[in-house]
Structures are given as structure tokens and as C-alpha cells.
Amino acid sequence: MPRILIVLLVLGWLLLIGVFAEISPLQSPWPVQSSLMQGSSFAAMRGGQVDVDELAIMTPDENGGALLIRSVDLDDAAQWPVLRYEFEGLAPALELNLVYRRADSPQDVRTLVLTRPRGSTGTIDLSREKDWQGRISEIGFAIYPVAQSVPLEQGFKPFRLIKAEFWSPSWQGRLAAVATEWSGRRAWSLMSISALGPDNGVVRARSPALLLAFGLVFTLLLLTQFLPQSRRRTLQVMLASVVLAWLLLDLRWLRSLFDRHAATRQVYAGVNWQERQQRQPDAELLAAAQAVREAIRADGGDPDRARVLIDSASDFLRARLVYHLAPANTGPVNITGYGPDWPLSMNFYLVYFDMEQPPYSIEKQALEFNDDVVVPARELIGQPPLRLYRLGQGATQ
């Protein structure tokens, strides 16, 4: 192989990596300044134990995770854009977040989702974050079960914060941040009220798949220019390159799938099917739905065929209650509406969850709405955050 070909291949790949990593030629190759923070310098709200220079978190807080905080004095965040963080024993069902305060708005806590590193150490380039500016007065890490997909009771495992470190801008810091994004561990996310899917998180680096594609095309072009061969030989090389690229991408996808299933195994491995059904990230909503079904059955209705209207504090809560109450004939009130749209000759049930006190009159046994609509109702469950009413002409009989 000609020496010039080897030189061009090396330079071309280095240039492609630099472009895809968005490295600035004006920066230093290595960080000029660094600021080290040992894990023991952070304070845990609960369950933390200092072990020499490390902070061990042995028990979760009331939200199933841990909040680790310490004061800092970074006069200019732009001078410290690279954050390296090192944890040991972080469970796959836990989500890692950076929290910080700025001196110009100390009442506001800003958060960023951090990529779970494949090893113990990860890096993020904060220069891409618009709120990372001015003077930083406090930083910390919030580590909690992955939202909406991991039950609080099963998500936590003891772990350690080894250290965190700020770097000044450099090629090394940017490359480390890109490597963390490209190789990081990803969790499942809730794509709908009843389906999980992949979550690639915030896009902080260009796709490695595109880098591989451009690199292979560049390599093939050089080979055809410097190593003239028969057309058949060239096609064989191109086919082999495509197969190799496909295999590499497939292996990357399989590794990502294995990472996502690690959290699933942590929560559900060794548990029978019935218990798995009870291990829900919204166990409170599941319990509320079960209480509603039991109350409808005690009222003489069929919970699988009952007409149920649902109101709650958010669309997500309404949608999840609809899911948990299936196969009942349910409808969220933000779609079905209140009042005169109801045929009062028919019997309905109305579920309130995590809402303010509904306009219910015990004396009149009715719900009174602001538009002067009075609906006959009987309270079946009155235990906040859950309330259940039977509506219609037969409700008060």
C-alpha cells in the first residue's frame, strides 16, 4: 500500500472525527485549568456516608433516589464548560441529572439530564447549554429511578460518588464528551400511556453512524484511486465494506438493547407474572383504579362495562387512569366535557384524582358546576386524592 495512501487515510479520518466532534482549532489540546471536587465534599439529603474521599449513598430518600449538593464559586461558567463525573455502582434503573444554581437567580434550580457513561466516568460539554452562563453558586447530582418507566421501590441500589471535575475548554474535553454521548447507556422511555420505546436523550453530538458512512465512502474513494483494480474486485471491496458497516451498526443496536433491558431485569427478574403486573411506575394510580373497580362492583355495576368519566390534574394522569381502568367504557373529561353533554337518564361514574375539592353538595346529593348545571350524584369514594361519584337519575336512590 503506497505511503501517501496511508497518510491520506489517517489525515482524512482525523479530519472527519474533528468535524463530527465539533472541535474548535482555537482551543488547547488539553485543559489548561481544572477544578477537582471529591465526592466527600457533596452533601446528601439522606442516606449519605463519607468514606475517605468518596460519598456512599446507602439508602434512598422519600422519592426513591438521592440528591447530592455542594456550593461552588465559578465566576464565569463559560471558562468551565466541561464537567467530568465519576460514579461507582450506579444501578441501570437510575437516571442521572445535573442540578445547579446561578448567582443571578438563586431561587431557580436548573436541571440537565446526564448521559450514563459505559464505564464509571462520564463527560458533558456544557458550552452547548444556553443556561450555563454567568456565575455558578451551587451544583449537584439528582439520581432517581427513570421517570414513568421504573417503580420507585425497585429502582434504587447503593452507589458511590467518587468525584466530579470541571475543565477549561480543550480538545480532550470535547472528545471525552462526544465519546460519552456515543457510548452512553440509554434507558427505556414512555412513548405512549402503554408502550415503552428507545430514548436517545438530548442530542449533544452528531451521529456516529453518519461518521462511519462518510468514513467508509472516503476510504473506498481513496482505494479506488490509489489501488486500480478490476471492476469485479472493486465491487467486492464495496460489498464487504457495506456488510462490515451493517454489522457494526447492528452490534451497536444490540448493545443498546442490552443496556435498556438491564433496568428491566433489575426490576422484574425472578418475579412471577402476577407480581410483575403490580410493579408499576405509577403504583398509586394502579391502586386508585383498583379501588374504583371495587367500588363500582359494590354499587352493583360491572367495572368492565361501566361508563366512567375521568378528571385529574394532568393529561398524563387522566390517560394512565383510562389505561388502568380498561376495559371499562372510559373517557377523559377534557374530551367528553361536563354537564349538559351527559344523558342524565343513564348512569355514569365520575373519577376525580389529585384535584381540588369538587363542587359536591352533600345536602342536595349533587355536583354543582359554575355554569349553574346541577347533576344528581352520590359519593362512593371520598378519600383524597381519589374521589368517585355515581351520576345520573338513579344515583341518589
Percent of the chain having pLDDT more than 90?
40
374 forms bridges with which residues in the sheet?
Answer: 368
Each residue's pLDDT tens digit, 229-253:
667 777 777 788 889 888 988 998 8
State whether 49 and 176 are in the same domain.
yes
Q: Which residue range forms the structural domain that includes residue 336?
A: 283-391
Q: Clarify whether residues 181 and 33 are in a common domain.
A: yes
Out of 7-11, 237-241, 343-347, the most confident range is 7-11
> Is residue 62 a part of any domain in this protein?
yes
What pLDDT does 47 receive?
Answer: 78
Statement to judge: residues 34 and 183 lie in one domain: yes
Confidence class for position 376, pLDDT limits 50, 70, 90: confident
In a domain, 205, yes or no: no
Q: What is the mean pLDDT of residues 12-39?
A: 91
pLDDT tens track for 122-134: 999 999 898 999 9
pLDDT tens-digit map of 297-318: 998 889 999 889 999 988 889 9
Confidence band (pLDDT; 50, 70, 90) for 191? low
Bigger pLDDT: 142 or 229?
Answer: 142
pLDDT at 278: 83
CATH number of domain containing 178: 2.60.120.260
Say if 138 falls within a structural domain: yes
Mean pLDDT of the chain: 86
39 and 176 share a domain?
yes
CB count in 10 Å sphere of residue 389: 24
pLDDT given at position 144: 93
Task: For residue 327, say if its preceding peptide bond is cis, omega within 30 degrees of 0.
Answer: yes
What is the distance between the alpha carbons of residues 317 and 284, in angstroms, rounded to a whole number? 11
pLDDT at 386: 94
**Do 37 and 149 reside in the same domain of the chain?**
yes
Q: What local confidence, expressed as pLDDT, does residue 41 receive?
A: 94
369 compared with 24, residue with greater pLDDT: 24
pLDDT digits (tens, 9 = 90+) for 61-97: 988 899 999 999 999 999 999 999 999 999 999 999 9
Domain match, 30 and 160 both: yes
Instruction: Judge whether residue 10 has pLDDT over 70.
Output: yes
Give the end of a domain, one of 191, 210, 233. 191
| 318, part of any domain | yes
Domain boundary among the residues 163, 191, 219 is at 191
Distance CA 215, CA 319 (A): 46
Same domain membership, residue 40 and residue 161: yes
- With bands split at pLDDT 50, 70 and 90, how would you rate the model's confidence at 396? low
What band does 24 get if pLDDT is binned at 50, 70 and 90? Answer: confident
Q: Is residue 230 part of a domain?
A: no
pLDDT at 375 over 90: no
Assess whether 184 and 288 both reside in one domain: no
User: What are the two backbone dihedrals, phi and then psi, of residue 163, each rounded to the nearest 5 degrees?
Assistant: -170, 165
pLDDT bucket at 30, cuts 50 / 70 / 90: very high
Q: Which of 149, 172, 191 is the last residue of a domain?
A: 191
pLDDT value of position 346: 61
Q: What DSSP string runs through 262-325?
A: HHHHHHHTT--HHHHHH--TTHHHHHHHHHHHHHHHHTT--TTT-EEEEEESSHHHHHHHHHHH
Q: Verify that 173 and 56 share a domain, yes or no.
A: yes
For residue 364, pLDDT beyond 90: no
Q: Tell me, what's the pLDDT at 381?
A: 92
Give the Å distances, CA to CA, from 105 to 109, 135, 140, 168. Answer: 9, 10, 16, 24
Query: CA separation (Å) from 303 to 293, 344, 356, 386, 388?
Result: 5, 19, 25, 17, 13
**Among 79-83, 247-251, 345-349, 365-369, whose mean pLDDT is lowest?**
345-349
> Is 114 domain-assigned?
yes
Q: CA-to-CA distance for 349 and 377, rounded, in angstroms?
A: 9
Q: Is residue 313 part of a domain?
A: yes
| Number of domain units in the chain | 2
Are residues 170 and 43 part of one domain? yes
- Residue 374: which pLDDT band, with cuts at 50, 70 and 90? confident
pLDDT for the residue 345 = 53
**CA distances to 89, 93, 122, 260 from 207, in Å:** 28, 25, 18, 19
Amino acid at position 356, single letter: E
Instruction: Kindly state whether residues 74 and 174 are assigned to the same domain.
Output: yes
Report pLDDT digits (tens) over 250-297.
998 898 889 888 988 998 888 888 888 888 888 889 999 999 999 999
Say if 54 falls within a structural domain: yes
